[in-house]
Amino acid sequence: MQAAALSSAAGTDTPAPGLSYAWPRMFPGIKLALLAACALTVPLAAGAHAHLLRSTPAAASVLAVAPAQLQLDFSETAVLTSLSLERSGDPVRQKLTPRPGAPQARLVIELPPLVAGSYLVRWRALSADGHISSGSFGFTLQAK
Amino acid sequence: MSPDALYVTVRAACFLSLFQACGTSFFLAAWGAGLPRSAGHIARLGRRAAAVGAMLVLAQQLLEAARMAGDYAGLFDGGLQWLALASSGGAAHGLQAFGLLLVMSGLPLPTPLGTALARRRCALALAGSVLAILAFTLTGHTSVAPGRPVLAPLLAVHLGIVAFWFGALAPLYLVLAHESQAAANQALRRFSAIAVFLVPVLPLAGLALAWGLVPGFAVLRQPYGELLLAKLVGFALLMVLAAFNRWRLVPALARSGHGGVALRRTLVAEIALLAMVFAVTAVLTGYYAPDH
Ligand SMILES: [Cu+2]
């Protein structure tokens, strides 16, 4: 082996060649590790990073009637993990997060009765790839 | 600091310690026996890196719930913690922590290396390192991409070479500090004989991964693409340093015995540059996805 040749040529202060003795002994360990990893690599889920495609009310829309629901359409199935609604001027951000459910591409959330004002919706979702995506959009509810 | 920013910071530090731990195991398995005076120091470095890495993996896992909630209250939300544990990220972190624990239990190496016990311990650390690296393929974009059968092995190769390369720099520093001239020369020569073949594979695997994951060149105008380019620039700078090492400093050291201090300094510079590349990668893989 090359490593053995190298070390024997290099001088007297090397007790044992490194590569040539170590690697064969490593093989059982590596095989075990690879097997364990293969067992764990069963496909976990299909899908990818979830982006928000559209929402109802739509981003930057101006509404005359208070919406009863909020609908979010994602590019992939995702679990909504956080949703909040903030009316500009109000100090408190309203949390709307439902208990995390099964991954869905379309999420419909009931809204509380809304008064006129401009609102900011913030969301966070967990995708199948393990990533957390987040975003925000606003809409305005006109006074009657 | 927002949970996202803290998460990315912890992730970058986790890359550093995990690759250090795994690379140290590779280094000792390959060349430990020829390093009577520094093997103990190197093993201690690997053990500590593995311990820090395991803690950072745990911290990252706990922070997932805070990121899901958007605030630190999420840390104490049992439902979100459970969701994080059951996600593909939870599986990856679990396997990484397990691998790093194997490295920790393998690296109290009895010196001199060469006994049956030392070989078994080394094999344990090596197996843990392989697991910790393969764990990266359980989550992230390659794990759900249609080309997974190709992309996941590419990612594993990419990360394995990163661990081998980055993880060898600090051990080489210790070799230069503690070993005899002859042993140090030999270790440097053996390392660069392998690195010269492996390191060029790194950008090839990386570009192939980007080709499989990125929808088109438009992505280069998004943060995701800009961060990818930043990685390439960092790599190019590293190649300049590595070439300087290989063709100037290492031969000079072998010829005259001078230049050990300069070589140690460039090793530190390489470590610092790679740390920056890891930080970019932590942001890239923690925050962004290529937009379609
Ligand atoms: Cu993603």
For chain B, domain boundaries = 3-287
Tens-level pLDDT at each residue, chain A (144 residues): 333 333 333 333 333 333 433 444 444 444 444 444 443 333 333 346 788 999 999 999 999 999 999 999 998 899 999 999 999 888 777 888 767 778 889 989 989 999 999 999 999 999 888 889 889 999 999 987
Q: Where are the beta strands (DSSP E) in A99-131?
A: 104-110, 117-127
β-strand partners of A52: A74
- B188 touching chain A per CB within 8 A: no
Q: Which two tokens stand for residue B262?
A: 């300069």
Instruction: State chain A's maximal CA–CA distance in angstroms.
Output: 94
Whether residue A11 contacts residue B182, with contact meaning beta carbons closer than 8 Å, is answered with yes
Distance CA B18, CA A30 (A): 18
List residues, by chain if needed, whose CB lies under 5 Å from ion ligand 1.
A 49, 129, 131; B 289
What are chain A's domains? 2-46 (no CATH), 52-141 (2.60.40.1220)
Domain B3-287 carries which CATH code?
1.20.1630
Q: B-chain residues within 8 Å CB-CB of A22?
A: 29-30, 32-33, 119, 122
Burial class (CB in 10 A: 0-12, 13-18, 19+), B258: exposed
Q: Which residues contact B98 (CB under 8 A, 6 or more apart)?
A: B128, B131
Q: Which residues contact A132 (CB under 8 A, 6 or more apart)?
A: A81, A124, A125, A126, B64, B67, B68
Whether residue B31 contacts residue B183, with contact meaning beta carbons closer than 8 Å, is answered with no
Burial class (CB in 10 A: 0-12, 13-18, 19+), B212: middle
Q: A-chain residues within 8 Å CB-CB of B106?
A: none
Taking a contact as any Cβ pair under 8 Å apart, which residues of chain A between 52 and 91 contact chain B?
75, 79, 81-82, 84
In this structure, what DSSP letter does residue A89 have? T
Distances from the Cα of B16 to the Cαs of A39, B27, B46, B170, in angstroms? 27, 16, 12, 12
Optimal mutation site among A6, A14, A30, A51, interface B, most CBs of chain B within 10 A: A14
Whether residue B18 contacts residue B103, with contact meaning beta carbons closer than 8 Å, is answered with no
Of B208, B231, B204, the residue nearest B288 (C-alpha): B231
Distances from the Cα of B96 to the Cαs of A26, B33, B61, B78, B106, in angstroms? 20, 27, 11, 22, 15
What residue type is B55 in one-letter code? Answer: M
pLDDT for the residue A2? 35
pLDDT for the residue B130? 97
Cβ-defined contact of B130 to A45 (cutoff 8 Å): no
pLDDT for the residue B290? 67
Taking a contact as any Cβ pair under 8 Å apart, which residues of chain A between 101 and 130 contact chain B?
122, 124, 126, 128-130
**In sequence order, what DSSP letters do the residues of B235-278 get, joined into one string?**
HHHHHHHHHHIIIIIHHHHHHHS--HHHHHHHHHHHHHHHHHHH
User: What confidence tens digit (pLDDT) does each residue in B140-150 have?
Assistant: 888 888 888 99
**Dihedrals phi, psi of A50, to nearest 5 degrees:** -90, 120
Q: Which two tokens stand for residue B41?
A: 């120091």
pLDDT for the residue B217? 72
Averages of pLDDT over each 10 residues, chain B, 292 residues: 92 96 95 90 96 97 94 93 93 97 90 81 94 95 87 94 95 93 90 89 89 76 83 91 84 79 90 93 80 52
Peptide bond before residue A57 is cis, with ω within 30 degrees of 0: yes
Q: Which two tokens stand for residue B250?
A: 């290492």
Q: Are strands A132-141 and A61-63 parallel, antiparallel or unpaired?
A: parallel
Cβ neighbours, 10 Å, residue A53? 12
Q: B-chain residues within 8 Å CB-CB of A15?
A: 33-34, 36, 112, 114
pLDDT for the residue A89? 86
What residue type is B126 in one-letter code? Answer: L
Rg of chain B over Cα atoms, rounded to whole angstroms, equals 20
What residue type is A85 in one-letter code? Answer: L
Distance CA A102, CA A87 (A): 29
β-strand partners of A55: A72
pLDDT for the residue B291? 58
Distance CA B70, CA B158 (A): 32
Of B83, B94, B288, the residue nearest A103 (C-alpha): B83
Secondary structure of residue A129 in the 3-state scheme: coil
Q: Give Cα A85 to chain centroid, integer Å.
A: 21
